[in-house]
Amino acid sequence: MKPSAGYTNRPASDNPRDIEAWGLTEAARRLMLAAQTPENPEPLRQALSLNQRLWTIFQSSMAEPDCPLPKDLREKILVLSLIVDRQTFERLGDLDVTKLNSLIDINRNIAAGLSQRPGDAAAAAMPAVSAGAPAAGAPVPSRAPGVAPPPAAPVAPRPGMAPGMAAGGMGKFNISI
């Protein structure tokens, strides 16, 4: 699915990963813009509705019988989409722009993961040839501005927690598609 011609900024390629990353980034951008005008609730409602529609598309894609993603990854994306649903409905109810960071962070982090290519992750795991410098010709993994690198050691989940959830918070999902 390609974005309509009405958008002022559009993805550079037709690659589905790029389009999904663009959609998530666009939704995060609109949420951030809406947060700048708390006195006008309409841009916030529109941004939240856009984000909800986008995540509904992801939910329905994960539920398709012919979805090519591994079952465990689909389950993690569905759990994450439930978190997005809950946060979105809460924000639609209270219109509190000070509580948008979790939605913005989720969108930006998933977009950053979608923007990486399979070779990027392998190159990031390999040690550099010289102190801090990548090997000549080696791909340099990109990271969205403001996105922190993943923690060195995973936090053990508490019993009964959803897959990918870290103890004491919303957790970090390391999803690569």
Q: Per-residue pLDDT tens for 105-140? A: 999 999 999 988 766 555 444 444 333 444 444 444
Here the tokens at position 97 are: 């722009």
- The alpha carbon of 6 is separated from its chain's Cα centroid by a whole number of angstroms, namely 23
**pLDDT at position 162 over 50:** no
**Confidence grade of residue 160 (pLDDT, cut at 50, 70, 90):** very low
**Residue with the larger pLDDT of the pair 69 and 10:** 69
Average pLDDT over the chain, rounded to an integer: 75
CATH code assigned to 16-117 = 1.20.120
Reported as a pLDDT band with limits 50, 70 and 90, residue 24 is: very high
Rounded CA separation 153/136 (Å)? 29
pLDDT at 116: 87
| Res 91 pLDDT > 90 | yes
Please provide residue 161's backbone torsions phi and psi, each rounded to the nearest 5 degrees: -85, 155
- Give the whole-angstrom CA distance, residue 117 versus residue 22: 15
Q: What is the average per-residue pLDDT within 16-28? A: 93
**pLDDT of amino acid 119:** 65
Region 63-84 average pLDDT: 94
Q: Which secondary-structure segment (H or E) carries 58?
A: helix 41-63
